Amino acid sequence: MDLGLQGRVALVTASSKGLGRASARALAEEGARLVICARGEEALEEARAELAGLTDVVAVVADVTRPDVPQKLVDTAVDRFGGLDVLVANAGGPPAMRALEVDDASLTAALDANLLTSVRMVKAAVPPMRRAGWGRIVLVASTSVKQPIPTLALSNAARAGLWGWAKTAAQDLFADGITLNLALPGYHATDRVVAIGAPEGVPLGDPADFGKVVAFLCSEPARFVSGSAVAVDGARILGLS
């Protein structure tokens, strides 16, 4: 299947490793040109070197939780490649914590990193997409959007808020040729899952497969998929909604 991504310009945040890197690679394999970013310079350079064998790529050392960074990343894409067609907004999840263990500081940090950062990224990315009349936005969230995880109360709160915002934003954007969806990873073989621990006996997904799902959501054939939260979780979610 031709995903229609050849020559498109994609910005993938937190893309030096894990699901962000897998998403960037899947887009590169489909011919998209890339802007990638992460806080860690060494890991980011490793990702850039790998992806440079597939496509044109610009790597920016940046912390996407800083309010000024989303616009700077979008400007980098526009300056380097002449526009921006695809945004994959990814950010590291908050620490494990049960609901009654949260405090103001931890909750504020989680909301900033996993809700406000994505909102800022979308708002920065939309103007060049509107000018082009075409855009694909995927927010990497968590299955906690649909089924809260008892030990990840901070993620539950932030991701659910993001889903509520994205569901309404998708309606505002669709008439402009821009789709907005969430990709909800379950347990994959990433450093994050190693850190928080997967339940015993649960099989781990391959990040590369997750990246291919993201690439499809960013594709031309997915033009009528918008306002959806797509679980990539090996049937872990039990709810029907």
205 has a pLDDT exceeding 90: no
Class of the 9-232 domain?
alpha beta
DSSP string, the chain: ---S-TT-EEEESS-SSHHHHHHHHHHHHTT-EEEEEES-HHHHHHHHHHHHTTS-EEEEE--TTSTTHHHHHHHHHHHHHS---EEEE--PPPPPB-GGG--HHHHHHHHIIIIIHHHHHHHHHHHHHHHHT-EEEEEE--GGGTS--TTBHHHHHHHHHHHHHHHHHHHHHHTTTEEEEEEEE-SBSSHHHHHH-PPTTPPPBPHHHHHHHHHHHTSSTTTT--S-EEEESTT------
Question: What does the pLDDT average to over 52-81?
Answer: 97
**How deeply is 149 buried, as exposed, middle or buried, from its count of CB atoms within 10 A (0-12, 13-18, 19+)?**
middle
The 10s digit of each residue's pLDDT in 108-124 is 999 999 999 999 999 99
- Domain coordinates in residue numbering, the chain: 9-232
Q: What local confidence, expressed as pLDDT, does residue 1 receive?
A: 85
pTM: predicted TM-score of the whole model, two decimal places: 0.96
Residue type, 237: I
Q: Is the pLDDT of residue 193 over 80?
A: no
Read off the pLDDT of each residue in 123-148 and give the average, rounded to a whole number.
96
The first and second tokens of residue 164, run together, are 């509520």
Residue 11 has pLDDT above 80, yes or no: yes
